[in-house]
Amino acid sequence: MSLLDVNQLSVKYESFTALKDVNFSVERNEFLAILGENGSGKTTLIKAILGLKDPHSGIITWEKDIRLGYLPQHLNVQDRSFPATVKEVVLTGALAYQKGFKRPTPEMVQKMTQILEDLSIAHLTCQRIGTLSGGQQQRVLLARTLMSDPDILIMDEPTSALDPSMRKTFYDLLKDLNAKGMTIIVITHDVGSASDVIQRIIYLDQTIKFDGTFGEYCENEAISPYIHTHQSHHHGSAQ
Amino acid sequence: MNLLDSFLNLFTYGFMVRALIAGLLIGLSGAFLGSFLVLKRFAMIGQGLAHVAFGSVAVGLLFSDQPLFIAMPIVVLVSVFILKLSEKTSVHGDAAIGLAATVAMALGTLLASIDGGFQTELNSYLFGSILTIQTTDIWLSFVLFIAVALFGVFYYYDLFSMTYDPIFAEVSQVKVQRLNLVLAILTGVTVVIGIQLLGTILISSFIIFPTVIAMQFQKGFFATVMVALGFAVSTVFVGISASFIYDLPTGSTIVLLNALIFSLIYVFNVFKGGRA
């Protein structure tokens, strides 16, 4: 059995069909990118596989006892006055899965320090998260996700708030995590920065239009203009 | 009689001691629950439930001279209903609160006009009266406080997680709906027990003010909760004492004391440059 099986998935928002008859499987240790134009159903697909949006029809099956890590596109809390420090937010990643009486342990704090150092935000540990820039907040959310040791990391446009140099560092980190056995699903427009780490691409437009390797995707005449458009857009905006 | 004598004299009156104990227990419970409700943008649930309590007390007075025991299950049910309405449908939390509150107030007013016999007693629940607090109410407040304290000790981190980012909490298998349910029930009970002290009009200040004051210090979440609890204790203690010494209405004294503290800290922050 695969890590994730999606069979005949359809999702509707009232009468609007966001996804129709989507079928795919994800194996352990894959690095999968989901591409598509705005409104193609990418975020809906992520919500459905995370259990945040009920399908209209179809079945989503996860391998038993799987631990999910989710990195949203941006902070769900938009209130900058929310009183929470980076440390408090990051620790919830580990505490969510702690059994019984939940309390931070010295091991958790040590692990948090290491992750924050890896993401170059250790100096922000005691700062309130609302005072940080978008890119810093995104790294805090990634740190929170990594604290839970997820089997699979699911990310929605994770690099949208990062500057070009940080994008490279970010994808290098994901490459390391993938090499250590973590399965990764990423919704991205940033195919350029991720081209050396993405193993498989699904191109979505309400239903799956393409499912194959990065190389096959580039050679696909029907869809490949999309990658060139977005790569040039990315490089343009990076300057 | 000097100020100290007047203050010490307070403890010779049984009803004042009962008001202080109940006030501190309800104040602590309200402040703790309020930390999550205010930051979940559900601050007005206290005000809405207080209106519901008014209608429920009117229903209670039709059948009993102990209306709070009838009002409590009604308010708790409405509290859960408001939560579910905002969770499951397109009705927003504030709209759900407004709907429930106005219907309950209309019901209370209608019942009072039909059976005019309890109009005066019903009005006493509008502004509260510390004279009405009995030993039974202290026990109820104590049980509430213990329930809130246990909820806080065992579920603090899950409560923080779902308050800060409910989507992440849900994905991380935090029992968000179950925690929301307990939060709604405890809030309903706090409001019903608290209206004897502050009245339906002012009880929501127990839930809102401590957290809003604590947030002005711009600290982390745990520190904010602790500061809120500290302000809840001090404003209840000083407010009840001052209302006794200067013969002022208790509820109004506590609320205005909170407002004064909030204003002073806010203005200090503005001058310090900590706030735009």
Q: pLDDT per residue over B201-259, tens digit each?
A: 788 888 999 999 999 998 999 999 999 999 999 999 999 999 999 999 888 899 999 99
If one counts the domains in chain B, the total is 1
Q: Which of B40, B41, B156, B157 is the best substitution to test chain A (most A C-beta atoms within 10 A)?
A: B157
- DSSP SS3 for B42: coil
The predicted structure's pLDDT at residue B276: 42
Q: For A172-183, what is each residue's pLDDT tens digit?
A: 888 889 998 999
Question: CA of B171, closest CA in chain A: separation in Å?
Answer: 7
Mean pLDDT score, A20-46: 91
Which structural domain range is residue B239 located in? Answer: 3-267
Per the model's pLDDT, the better-predicted residue between B276 and A210 turns out to be: A210
Tokens describing residue B250: 């208790």
Question: Residue A121 falls within a domain, yes or no?
Answer: yes
What pLDDT score does A225 carry?
54
pLDDT digits (tens, 9 = 90+) for A102-142: 899 999 999 999 999 988 899 999 999 999 988 888 889 99
| CB contact (8 A) between residue B173 and residue A101 | no
**Is A99 contained in some domain?**
yes
A176 belongs to a structural domain: no
Taking all residues of chain A, what is their mean pLDDT, rounded to a whole number?
A: 85
Residue where the block lists tokens 């205005």: B256
Range of the domain at A135: 72-148
pLDDT the model gives residue B104 = 86
Residue A94 maps to a domain: yes
Beta-bridged to residue A26, according to DSSP, are A4
CATH of the domain at B115: 1.10.3470.10
B275 within domain boundaries: no
Split into its structural domains, chain A has a count of 1
- Give the tens place of pLDDT for each residue, B141-197: 999 999 999 999 999 999 999 999 888 898 888 999 899 999 999 999 999 998 877
User: Quick one: closest CA in A to B215, which residue?
Assistant: A83
**pLDDT classification of A232: cutoffs 50, 70, 90:** very low
**Which pLDDT score is estimated for A227?**
52
Please tell me the predicted confidence (pLDDT) of residue B236.
93
Per-residue pLDDT averaged across B64-92, rounded? 81
Report phi then psi at A41, rounded to 5: 105, 10
Query: How sure is the predictor about A75, in pLDDT bands with cuts at 50, 70 and 90?
Result: low
Q: Tell me if B276 is assigned to some domain.
A: no
Given CB atoms, is A87 within the 8 Å cutoff of chain B? yes
Helix (H) or strand (E) holding B143: helix B135-164
CA R_g for chain B = 19
**Residue bearing the bigger pLDDT, B29 or B55:** B29
User: Is the minimum CB–CB distance between A73 and chain B shorter than 8 Å?
Assistant: no
